Structure 1
């Protein structure tokens, strides 16, 4: 029981740090991309910067919403464990959908900025293929997607799954003890 509580306390501390960094960085980046939407000459680049600013607002909203759902020690320890289980499951679900709600919207916005800045809409395919910045951007995008996907799989495997299993086992054993009493 102490091992599970220690693990949950460590997780709460870690997620508190994640939330702080995520919200802080997103809050700093919103004005930057809002300024880029004003400054960039291409309409497509402006739209990409606006899309990223909106996406960052959604990231802040999601982080705050998840932060409000953190478990609080209530009347009984078993209720607290159930809240922890629900909180961990929410994190796991959100992590599994990371590519859809976190990575791809940002990459789409950045791609729009790059296409607008390089004026790729007015170039032929041969000119686009000969543009070195297109290939560099494509390689960076691929590296980000692979890194985010692999890191996310590792986090779910190492952080969420073992904790969910331990908390579930503890809840079952405590419920069995209550039934026997």
Structure 2
């Protein structure tokens, strides 16, 4: 791999590292702040997601190091580099958090898929790593969405613009 290609792959991986770190912290935040009739189901559903996403961050960071980069994992750096807003829902009912998580997962998965597409010409090994991560993220997204659908398959968050709107629609 050329130095130029490696530099771009490291840049893409750092973006993925930031998104995954943010997601794992958001999932834990929801785990701590979810309330309501379906509390225990959602509370217990989220911990395995937290653990899996956290493992993804480690694999991505190690790939950055393998390619000669220095993974940046500090909270301040993440906040400085990210192009999205902080998760804004505190203590709230399960459906509101799940509606907001629907939007959060959509954002992470969309950016994962964009990176996968770009990696097709740069590095198939890194692409394979992100494909595996995306498979798991899409599964977790399905778990969240299953709580937001009615028996006809209608998604309560359909058409939502942002996490607050999705939380409102789901609640």
**TM-score of the aligned structures, taking structure 1 as reference length:** 0.46
Q: Which has the higher helix share?
A: 1
Task: Return the index of the structure with the highest Cα Rg.
Answer: 1
